[in-house]
Amino acid sequence: MWVITSAARQHKSLLVWGRGFNKSVSGVGSQVASHHVTASLLHPEDSSFKPAVKRQHRHNETRERSAQSKVWRNEIPVVQRAGQRKGDSHRVSSELRKLCLEDSPAERERPGTQKSTLDSRAESHEIVFGIAPCLLALTQGRRKAHKLFVKDGEASHRASVLKVCEEARRRGVQVQRVSKKVLDRMSSDRVHQGVCLQASPLSYLTERSDSAPGRKDPPLWLVLEGIQDPMNLGAILRSAYFLGVDRVASSLHNSCSLSPVVSKASSGAMEVLGVYGYENLEDMVKLKVAQGWQAVGTVAAEADESQLPVTECSAFQMTRPTVLLIGGEGGGLSRELLSLCQTLLTIPAGRDLFPGIESLNVSVATGILLHTLLSSRTSTT
């Protein structure tokens, strides 16, 4: 009795399945398939029926494949756009592709799908991240801001984040709330503090855009040659701005650009402090020396390659306009710039040092030298 009931239930289920199958396969093929399945269930022990079923099964499979391929060929034009070329019948319409992408979690999380949140009208833009860089980028007006992205949730109610949002709205910049994953992707997984700003990039200033006001104290220019690490450059700009350097000049070759990473490392000082770029630092330093400035270089304590005097930075007195030359992370100052220096400064160590750690990071060394020079600066009046 249990076997008969089970077979009946299977027969009923298969009939329901057959009705659904009729929607995508032609009626004749589905009816034959349904009849074949039903007969095999009702006559499981009938050996005389099996050969006929096998022959009919092979015949039905051929008809089903033909009917199914015909159905698929007939269904494709249904999703085509009006006016689509006949040769493009194998392509899926953009509407259907959009629905597929929206239904697929993997596609929603793909980085390329987030590009639609950016302002497509901005032909050239970059993503500034961090509260201070975004706020200063908005207030200083040196960039063209397009859209502000803020992390959705409780973090968006912090006073610092609200200040950035208010500044954006005051300047007519659209504010959009997004998830942390979107912000992580925009900032390349760097510390964004819940805000990212789509804005035009900053570039090095030129000599013609010089508008530095005159001052009574001897000016100090910081000249950077070949700083390649954006974190170092950002830290240097932060110290230069804080300590009161009059100008920062950098070589355009073998130096990192003024990127959002530099802006974040400078805590936004890059948005305020103008950084000038020079094709040839040697010519610029020669000009300043001809105008009466002194060129001061930097070397390690044990370096004695040149015939110039090496002075501990704490013993140096800045009494006239000065350019402080800082070399790159690897080789330091080039021979061309060293030959223009009147004196060399060094930072003495406070203990005997082990090989490999006998020097300072370039940003730390620059901060010490700037503080020493600016503290010793005396007025010429």
Beta bridge partners of 328: 332
Average pLDDT estimate for 99-109: 34
**Per-residue confidence (pLDDT) for residue 231, from 0 to 100:** 97
- 215 with 189, same domain: the answer is no
Length of the chain: 381
- 249 with 355, same domain: the answer is yes
pLDDT band at 77 (very low <50, low <70, confident <90, very high): very low
- 126 with 40, same domain: the answer is no
Q: Which residues contact 162 (CB under 8 A, 6 or more apart)?
A: 156
* Residue 10 maps to a domain: yes
Note the Cα 293 to chain centre separation in Å.
41
Q: Taking 60 as the threshold, does the pLDDT of residue 92 lie above it?
A: no
- 214 with 310, same domain: the answer is yes
Burial of residue 296 (CB within 10 Å: 0-12, 13-18, 19+) is buried
Q: Taking 60 as the threshold, does the pLDDT of residue 209 lie above it?
A: no
Alpha helices in the chain (DSSP H): 2-22, 27-42, 50-75, 94-103, 105-108, 131-140, 159-170, 180-186, 230-243, 260-265, 269-272, 281-290, 335-338, 362-375
**Per-residue confidence (pLDDT) for residue 380, from 0 to 100:** 53
Cα separation, 362 vs 324, whole angstroms: 13
Q: Taking 70 as the threshold, does the pLDDT of residue 251 lie above it?
A: yes
Tokens of 165: 């949002």
- End position of a domain, from candidates 137, 166, 199: 199
Q: What percent of the chain has pLDDT over 70?
A: 63
* Residue 92 maps to a domain: no
Q: How many domains does the chain have?
A: 3
Higher-pLDDT residue of 89, 213: 213
* Residue 344 maps to a domain: yes
Q: Count the Cβ atoms, other than its own, within 10 Å of residue 25.
A: 20
- End position of a domain, from candidates 150, 175, 199: 199
* Residue 99 maps to a domain: no
Q: What SS3 class is residue 371? A: helix
- 326 with 362, same domain: the answer is yes
* Residue 84 maps to a domain: no
**Per-residue confidence (pLDDT) for residue 313, from 0 to 100:** 94
Tell me which residue has tokens 């239930």: 9
- 222 with 351, same domain: the answer is yes
**Per-residue confidence (pLDDT) for residue 120, from 0 to 100:** 60
**Per-residue confidence (pLDDT) for residue 123, from 0 to 100:** 61
Question: What's the mean pLDDT when you consider all of the chain?
Answer: 76
pLDDT band at 265 (very low <50, low <70, confident <90, very high): very high
Higher-pLDDT residue of 230, 154: 230
Higher-pLDDT residue of 306, 256: 256
pLDDT band at 64 (very low <50, low <70, confident <90, very high): low
- 229 with 343, same domain: the answer is yes
* Residue 135 maps to a domain: yes
Average pLDDT estimate for 199-226: 82
| Model pLDDT for residues 312-366, shown as the tens digit of each residue | 999 999 999 999 999 998 888 999 999 999 999 999 998 988 888 888 999 999 9
> Residue 343 maps to which CATH number?
3.40.1280.10
Q: Taking 70 as the threshold, does the pLDDT of residue 305 lie above it?
A: no
Tell me which residue has tokens 């009729």: 22
- 171 with 246, same domain: the answer is no
Judge contact between 120 and 149, C-beta under 8 A.
no
Q: Taking 90 as the threshold, does the pLDDT of residue 247 lie above it?
A: yes
**Per-residue confidence (pLDDT) for residue 357, from 0 to 100:** 85
**Per-residue confidence (pLDDT) for residue 166, from 0 to 100:** 96
| Model pLDDT for residues 30-43, shown as the tens digit of each residue | 443 444 444 444 44
* Residue 101 maps to a domain: no
294-298: strand order across its sheet: 275-278, 247-251, 220-224, 322-326, 294-298, 343-346, 310-312
Q: Which range among 268-272, 282-286, 327-331, 337-341 shows the weakest confidence by mean pLDDT?
A: 327-331
- 233 with 301, same domain: the answer is yes
**Per-residue confidence (pLDDT) for residue 308, from 0 to 100:** 80
| Distances 363 to 75, 78, 234, 284 between C-alpha atoms, Å | 66, 65, 9, 23
Q: Taking 50 as the threshold, does the pLDDT of residue 190 lie above it?
A: yes
Higher-pLDDT residue of 214, 167: 167
- 147 with 280, same domain: the answer is no
pLDDT band at 309 (very low <50, low <70, confident <90, very high): confident
- 182 with 254, same domain: the answer is no
- End position of a domain, from candidates 168, 199, 230: 199
Domain of residue 292, residue span: 207-375
**Per-residue confidence (pLDDT) for residue 55, from 0 to 100:** 52
* Residue 76 maps to a domain: no
Higher-pLDDT residue of 327, 92: 327
**Per-residue confidence (pLDDT) for residue 131, from 0 to 100:** 97
> Residue 161 maps to which CATH number?
3.30.1330.30
- 53 with 129, same domain: the answer is no
Q: Which range among 19-33, 110-124, 303-317, 324-338 shows the weakest confidence by mean pLDDT?
A: 19-33
Cα separation, 38 vs 54, whole angstroms: 14
Q: Taking 90 as the threshold, does the pLDDT of residue 144 lie above it?
A: yes
**Per-residue confidence (pLDDT) for residue 60, from 0 to 100:** 58
